[in-house]
Structure 1
Amino acid sequence: MQGPLDLRLLATFVRAAHSGTLSATAVQVGRTQSAVTMQIQRLEEALGQSLFHRSGSGVRLTGSGERFLAYAERILKIHDEAISALSDKGLHGSILFGSPEDYLSAFFPALLKSFGTMYPDVEIKVVSAPTVELRMLLNAHQIDLALVSAPKANHTQDIVRTESLVWVGSKPSLELYDFGDTVPLALSASNAVDHKAACEAMAGARLRYKISYASNSLAGLIAVARSGLAISVMTKEAVPPDLHILNAPLPQLPHLGILIAFADSERSPAVEAFAGHIRSVLPSL
């Protein structure tokens, strides 16, 4: 091995090891895929070892890569801790943060502004996706932490904040629409928590409905609700001021708990600090 290891190469290597693809790693570290490939090659040359098996579907660690991953994670963690402890500027590092779009719209600007004021040297990259997809990204180590939704009754001890799901439309009551005996709904994708909650509530109330529009785009759901062609469902805090919250005869929707979920890996000081900030700030937003 020649000379000291470049921390930037270690960071890229750790991301690639967890994501399993160089294309995903390139997005995470803000470089091109060819630049990521060159960084991995430079690290392999410095170590004198092959760290990845490469194939068309991605990369996987060699035996040497698996052994080196634990060292690389420890080096990066200790580096961040040392910088945070001794620097007058506080924490350094980067965070990959995931959240459903409605939580981003309602809460993230305030969270980011207050955290950025305290820790200006921490970079936060944001991934917007429904809870089911965020869980998969966490399991694949493609994000560090995420806000996720869960039924309130299932996770009472871990809930950071409770949010109400509400029916939303362009008119203040269902009777003002000309829907007939079947209510058209604009919902998020079928694997999302709010989609399942809406369908279960309608079925429980024995109200006829049809899915007229399905998308994980909050902007798309809002646009359809504004058109008056369908009723949508979203968290109460995400409802724009020009739309109305509808009540009976539509059934009551459940409350959701918002939790912080982490990737199953060592958490950097920056990740721990951001999670602590969310716990302290989110309940009062």
Structure 2
Amino acid sequence: MPSHFDLDCLRSFVAAQDLGGFNRAAEVLNRSQSAVSQQLRKLEEQAGQPLTRRDGRQLVLTPAGDTVLAYARRLLALNDEAMAALGNYALAGQVRFGVVGDLAESWLPAMLASFQRAHPQIVLEVCVDRASALFEALDRGALDLVLTFGGDGRIDAMPWRALPQRWLGAVGGTFTPDERVELAVLPSPCRFRKAAIDQLEAAGIPWRIAFTGHSVAALWAAVRAGLGVTFRAVDDMPQGIAAWDEPLSVPQALPISVNLHDGGRPADAAIDHLRGILLELKD
């Protein structure tokens, strides 16, 4: 008996079982029916016993055929995984990626780390900043891709997600009627700082800036410690922070759009691959 199975024969064998016959397998694999039948005979020679038997007009698997089919799926999956891994090493280049702090504090770091492990030849440079700074860097060619709030009017905007905007505070807290709202915010200009103040002003609710942080991480630390509440877009809720019901007389805000931008420039394979992964994750 041969010491190994032919992977092409195994692939035809699996295709025939999945597609309901060797005729259909031959069409999908772009081979003649006789070639696929010959591969089955070769596979039976390698197995040293029949893998199918006649049952009326149909070919059904023998017990040995069932066993070979199960192992064939595993062998082909491992082969395809190995080929894909080698393809990843062939993908090289540099990607300069910009992202706003709110998204950089959620699931995105793990996804980017996974991308770089899968494509070790790609140099990944990540910049975390405000939307205005990211757009400026993108337009002068210092960044290749930007994931940020707004930018709906730009011709390079690729819709990614619409995130809810909520009031966020320490877990277990709530707004108290007739009490001044203590705000934790980022420095101006900041769309969420302005939105929070505009909502409170429109409802006639007193407020003051109790904490100003220079990063989203600092902002979350202040909110978690109970130094103030903040108004932000919600992706993954930070630990120790909860969405509060809106202050009295303040309606719930509409979701805000998040777009992916490439500056409208042609992209190389590395940039295009990361862009494709991000767009696949938009839902």
TM-score w.r.t. structure 2 length? 0.60
Give the drift of 1:242.
1.6
Matches within 5 A, 1:108-147: 108-116=108-116, 118-147=118-147
* Structure 2 CA distance for aligned equivalents of residues 87 and 154 of structure 1: 34
Partner AA of 2:123 in structure 1:
E
Quick one: distance in 2 between partners of 1:194 and 1:209? 15
Normalization by structure 1: what TM-score?
A: 0.60
> Which has the larger helix fraction?
1
Match of 2:237 in 1: 239
Q: Provide Cα deviations, 1:142-161, integer angstroms capped at 9, x if missing partner.
A: 21111010188999x84211
Q: State the Cα deviation string for residues 177-203 of structure 1 (Å, max 9, x = none).
A: xxx632111112222222222222222
Establish whether residue 226 from structure 1 lines up as the match of residue 213 from structure 2.
no
User: Secondary structure at the residue paired with 1:125?
Assistant: strand
CA contact (8 A) 2:99 2:128 kept: yes
Answer whether contact 1:131 1:193 (CA < 8 A) is retained: no
Change (3 A) 1:90 1:270: same
Residues 1:214 and 2:212 aligned together: yes
Question: Residues 82-130 of structure 1, C-alpha deviation per residue, up to 9 Å, x if partnerless?
Answer: xxxx977332011111101120121313422443354332121111001
The answer (yes or no) to whether the contact 1:168–1:239 under 8 Å persists in 2 is no
TM-superposed deviation, 1:140: 2.2
How far apart in 1 are the matches of 2:182 and 2:87? 57
Return the alpha-carbon distance in structure 2 between the equivalents of residues 118 and 127 of structure 1: 20
Residue 260 of structure 1 deviates from its aligned partner by 0.7
Give the Cα–Cα distance (whole angstroms) in 2 for the partners of residues 151 and 266 of structure 1: 19
1:173 equivalent in structure 2: 174
Letter in 2 for 1:234: R
Paired with 1:88 and 1:253, the residues of 2 have a C-alpha distance of 43
Alpha-carbon distance between aligned partners in 2 of 1:281 and 1:128, rounded to the nearest angstrom: 20
**Which residue number corresponds to residue 183 of structure 2?**
185
Structure 1: state its 5+ residue gaps.
Answer: 1-85
Letter paired with 2:213: S
Are the aligned partners of 2:167 and 2:246 in contact in 1 as well (CA < 8 Å)?
A: no
Aligned to 1:150: 150
| Equivalent residue runs for 1:66-81 within 5 Å | none
Matches within 5 A, 1:194-205: 194-205=192-203
Q: Is the 8 A contact 1:131 1:192 kept in 2?
A: no
* Number of residue pairs matched by the alignment: 194
Q: Which has the larger radius of gyration?
A: 2
Q: Which amino acid aligns with 2:197?
A: C
SS of the residue 2:89 aligns to: coil
Q: Offset of 1:164 from its aligned partner? A: 1.3
Q: Is the 8 A contact 1:224 1:230 kept in 2?
A: yes
Letter of the structure 2 residue corresponding to residue 262 of structure 1: D
Query: Following the alignment from structure 2 to structure 1, what is the Cα–Cα distance between the partners of residues 138 and 267?
Result: 12
Identity, % of aligned pairs?
A: 22
Q: Who is 2:55 aligned against? A: none
Distance of 1:263 and 1:151 partners within structure 2: 11
Structure 2 unaligned blocks of 5 or more: 1-85
Partner AA of 1:128 in structure 2: V
Q: Does the C-alpha gap of structure 1 residues 221 and 87 become closer, same or farther in structure 2, counting only changes over 3 Å?
A: closer
Cα distance in 2 for residues equivalent to 1:113 and 1:162: 24
Secondary structure, aligned partner of 2:281: helix
> Is the CA contact 1:95–1:271 (under 8 Å) kept in the aligned structure 2?
yes
Shift of the alpha carbon at 1:263? 3.3
Of stretches 87-96 and 99-108 in structure 1, the one that deviates more from structure 2 is 87-96
In the alignment, the residues of structure 2 paired with residue 138 and residue 151 of structure 1 have an alpha-carbon distance, to the nearest angstrom, of: 12
Name the structure 1 match of 2:279. Answer: 279
Give the secondary-structure state (helix, strand or coil) at the position aligned to 1:184.
Answer: strand
Q: What is the CA distance between 1:271 and its match in structure 2?
A: 1.1
